[in-house]
């Protein structure tokens, strides 16, 4: 729980506040934009929730915050906010909330399917979320986009006897025991609806997951940037190779999708033609950046 004595000075006066342990993961600003905003490299409360809907959103942000940096002066029951997760995104795809500090507050998602649910990247192993996912059919497969967003994967896989999938190039020592290692640069059809597409760049073994040619679970390869109002990737968080990431981005032009659901950054839903335009513009920007640097 956030500590009153660590409350950031920049918070507006009142009930909800952020303390100085915030790691700037952005999730509270996505979940409750009427309450939280950015200040430097942290979040603050810029306006206290006024309506029941705003308070509910602020409590969902509190539940999701990976570092428990959001607090309240008054007592609130978070029961309903806890029960809100997994939260429907579209169709049978859910956002898990309950982010983990060890994956720097990355978003994770659940695909609910009769043939077995898929957990994309790892949320915090929090008992209310575990119980709810169990009620929704458990987890058959855990798809890990890359080595940074694996958080509590061992606990999730152990609890549900799930098969984990990651690219061999990201299977560092602690991930070497993962059940299914993808190799090479070619896309791998996991089943008729799920395609794993290696996208080296952010990390050497980064891989995105395309579901039903509609949902792209993009990890830290690609996201919607609020600042640029565009699909984006960032050289500053490219740990392996920017030229490789640019080539990986260009290969994504071979596919159609309407949703980009990232680990970090904003989600976006566009028509597949608009998404393609956005992707082409993103590739062009990445190439320009490469040329400017050479």
Secondary structure of the chain as H, E, C letters: CCCHHHECCCCCCCCEEEECCCCCCCHHHHHCCCCEEEECCEEEECCCCCCHHHHHHHHHHHHHCCCCCEEECCCCCCHHHHHCCCEEEECCEEECCCCCHHHCCCCCEEECCCCCCEEECCCCCCHHHHHHHHHCCCCCEEECCCHHHCCCHHHHHHHHCCEEEEEHHHCCHHHCCCCEEECCCCCEECCCCEEEEECCCCCCCCEEEEECCCEEEEECCCEEECCCCEEECCHHHCCCCHHHHHHHHHHHHHCCCCEEEECCCECEECCHHHHHHHHHHHHHHHHHHHHHHC
Q: Which is nearer to ligand SF4, 63 or 165 (CB)?
A: 63
Stretches 47-55, 67-75, 147-155, 177-185: which one binds ligand SF4 (CB under 6 A)? 67-75
Q: Does 58 bind ligand SF4 (CB under 6 A)?
A: no
Stretches 65-73, 198-206, 222-230, 238-246: which one binds ligand SF4 (CB under 6 A)? 65-73
Site string for ligand SF4, 92-131 (x = CB under 6 A): -------------x--------------------------
Q: Which is nearer to ligand SF4, 4 or 256 (CB)?
A: 4
Q: Which is nearer to ligand SF4, 121 or 258 (CB)?
A: 121
Query: Rounded to whole angstroms, what are the CA distances from 220 to 3, 233, 273, 280?
Result: 31, 8, 22, 18
Q: Does 25 bind ligand SF4 (CB under 6 A)?
A: yes
Q: Does 70 bind ligand SF4 (CB under 6 A)?
A: yes
Among 8, 27, 81, 130, binds ligand SF4 (CB under 6 A): 27
Q: Does 34 bind ligand SF4 (CB under 6 A)?
A: no
Among 8, 65, 165, 182, binds ligand SF4 (CB under 6 A): 65
Q: Does 154 bind ligand SF4 (CB under 6 A)?
A: no
Q: Does 26 bind ligand SF4 (CB under 6 A)?
A: yes
Among 8, 22, 106, 208, binds ligand SF4 (CB under 6 A): 22
CA distance 199 to 238: 12
Q: At closest approach, how far in Å is the CB of 65 from ligand SF4?
A: 3
Q: At closest approach, how far in Å is the CB of 18 from ligand SF4?
A: 5
Q: At closest approach, how far in Å is the CB of 115 from ligand SF4?
A: 33
**8 Å CB contact between 120 and 162:** no
Stretches 62-70, 120-128, 144-152, 174-182: which one binds ligand SF4 (CB under 6 A)? 62-70
Q: Does 78 bind ligand SF4 (CB under 6 A)?
A: no
CA distance 226 to 48: 22
Tokens representing residue 27 in the block: 């999730």
Among 8, 16, 28, 196, binds ligand SF4 (CB under 6 A): 28
**8 Å CB contact between 222 and 270:** no
Q: Which is nearer to ligand SF4, 106 or 120 (CB)?
A: 106
Give the binding site for ligand SF4 (CB under 6 A): 18, 22-28, 43, 61, 65-67, 69-70, 105
């Amino acid at each position: 729980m956030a500590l009153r004595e660590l409350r950031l000075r920049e918070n507006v006066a009142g009930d909800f506040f952020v303390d100085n342990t915030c790691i700037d993961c952005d999730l509270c600003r996505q979940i409750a934009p009427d309450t939280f905003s950015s200040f430097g490299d942290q979040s603050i409360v810029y306006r206290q929730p006024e309506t029941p809907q705003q308070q509910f959103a602020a409590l969902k942000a509190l539940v999701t915050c990976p570092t428990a940096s959001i607090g309240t002066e008054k007592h609130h029951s978070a029961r309903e906010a806890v029960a809100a997760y997994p939260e429907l995104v579209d169709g049978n795809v859910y956002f898990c909330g309950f982010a983990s500090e060890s994956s720097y507050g990355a978003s994770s998602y659940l695909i609910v399917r009769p043939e077995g649910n898929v957990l994309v990247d790892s949320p915090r192993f929090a008992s209310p979320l575990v119980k709810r996912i169990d009620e929704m059919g458990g987890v058959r497969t855990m798809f890990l986009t890359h080595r940074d967003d694996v958080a509590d994967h061992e606990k999730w896989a152990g609890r549900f006897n799930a098969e984990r999938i990651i690219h061999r190039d990201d299977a560092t020592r602690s991930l070497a025991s993962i059940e299914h290692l993808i190799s090479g640069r070619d896309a791998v059809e996991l089943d008729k609806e799920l395609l794993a597409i290696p996208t080296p760049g952010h990390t050497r073994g980064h891989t995105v997951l395309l579901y039903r040619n509609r949902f792209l679970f993009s990890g830290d390869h690609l996201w919607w940037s609020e600042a640029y109002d565009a699909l984006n990737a960032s050289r500053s968080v490219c740990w392996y190779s920017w030229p490789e990431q640019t080539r990986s981005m260009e290969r994504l032009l071979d596919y159609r999708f309407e949703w980009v659901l990232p680990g970090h950054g904003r989600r976006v839903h566009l028509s597949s033609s608009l998404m393609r335009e956005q992707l082409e513009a993103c590739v062009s920007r990445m190439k320009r950046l490469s040329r400017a640097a050479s």
